[in-house]
Amino acid sequence: MKITITPESLSQLMVESLCRHNTSERNAAAVAKALTAAEAQGLSGHGLSRLHAYCGQAASGKVQGFATPQRTTVSPSMVKIDAGNGFAYPAIDIAIESCRDGARQNAICCALIGNSHHFGAAGLVVEQLAEAGQIAIMTGNSPKAIAPAGGSSPMFGTNPIAFAAPRKNAPPLVIDLSLSTVARGKVMVAAQRGEPIPHGWARDAQGAPTTDAQAGLDGSMEAIGGAKGAMLAMMIEILVAGLTSSNFGYEATSFFTADGAPPCTAQMLIAIDPQAAGASDFDKRLETLIATMLDQPGVRLPGSRRAELAAAATRDGISISQQAHEHLLELAGR
């Protein structure tokens, strides 16, 4: 059975839940905003399904719920942010502000976030910069899930990459992809529901293809493009963890369990301001590309379905299962 809840009510219940589990109200608000936005866009693997694990990790101290991110200016076009082993979202908010302002002044700006945690739907982050008229790229690493090319034991995270570009008279173009065949969050949701996963999503601990979601979580994810995807995942590990002295994927602890040390993962956000970069015809060139692409029958603009779902959620509310709602009320102490 499904129930409908407004985004505002869902976010408030998440804030209450996190505050009851050793998290400051300010940090809880940043987390709830991100999870609610993901749920509204149909990205359930980065939405409400994460709350239980987040609360458990904040309660155990695996995540520092009262952490205050610290920003250091490296140069006019680069900042570093120490998330303090807290939730990623408060640090990401600082990164967005820093990159937006830095790119306006210097054409480009990069923010590196270290000692961080799960960073959810990266597309939601780059979309905010695109709404401010900037091109944005975000990536980050996560606990081991993908084996290196030719190997069978996971070493690299699924390490998503998100890209967004501003459009003059339309919502931003947003592309968000994981370097695994699907986001690991989808396998997690299937495991929570006791549902099988399609062939080609994951392998078990012995390296054999599996349709058992839990076996996939215990094993490894299939990389997109095989060896090429695994090499891309390695590149991201070097860029984010290597530049922030954070943990590589194989060193990071799970985002799903409350035991163990903090994951200490990392993220990178880059913003480019087309006007400051002297690209005066950027809007026109982008629209030419999009129009030419959409001239082909069957082609759909990346991210358009998410935008439609977000609009529907604002208008009609978010649909969640009764069981999920009851668990949410329990976490919130209602």
Domain ranges of the chain: 1-66+303-334, 69-180+224-300
- C-alpha 321: how far from its chain's center? 23
Q: Report the CATH fold assignment for 1-66+303-334.
A: Hypothetical Oxidoreductase Yiak; Chain: A, domain 1 (1.10.1530)
For domain 69-180+224-300, give the CATH number: 3.30.1370.60
CB 247 within 8 A of CB 115: no
- DSSP annotation of 334 reads -
CA-CA-CA-CA torsion sign (127, 129, 131, 136): negative
How high is the pLDDT of residue 159?
Answer: 95
How high is the pLDDT of residue 170?
Answer: 93
Beta strand segments in 168-231, E = 173-177, 202-203, 209-210, 220-221
Long-range contacts of 39-42 (CB under 8 A, 24+ apart): 39/7, 39/10, 39/313, 39/318, 39/320, 40/7, 40/309, 40/310, 40/313, 40/314, 40/318, 41/121, 41/124, 41/306, 41/307, 41/309, 41/310, 41/313, 42/305, 42/306, 42/309
Place of tokens 């979601």: 213
- pLDDT tens, N- to C-terminus, the chain (334 residues): 888 999 999 999 999 999 999 999 999 999 999 999 999 999 888 999 999 999 999 999 999 999 999 999 999 999 999 999 999 999 999 999 999 999 999 999 999 999 999 999 999 999 999 999 999 999 999 999 998 888 878 999 999 999 999 999 999 999 999 999 887 778 888 998 899 999 889 988 888 889 999 998 888 889 999 899 999 999 999 999 999 999 999 999 999 999 999 999 999 999 999 999 999 999 999 999 999 999 999 999 998 888 888 888 899 999 999 999 999 999 999 8
How high is the pLDDT of residue 50?
Answer: 95
289: Cβ–Cβ under 8 A, 6 or more apart, which residues?
A: none
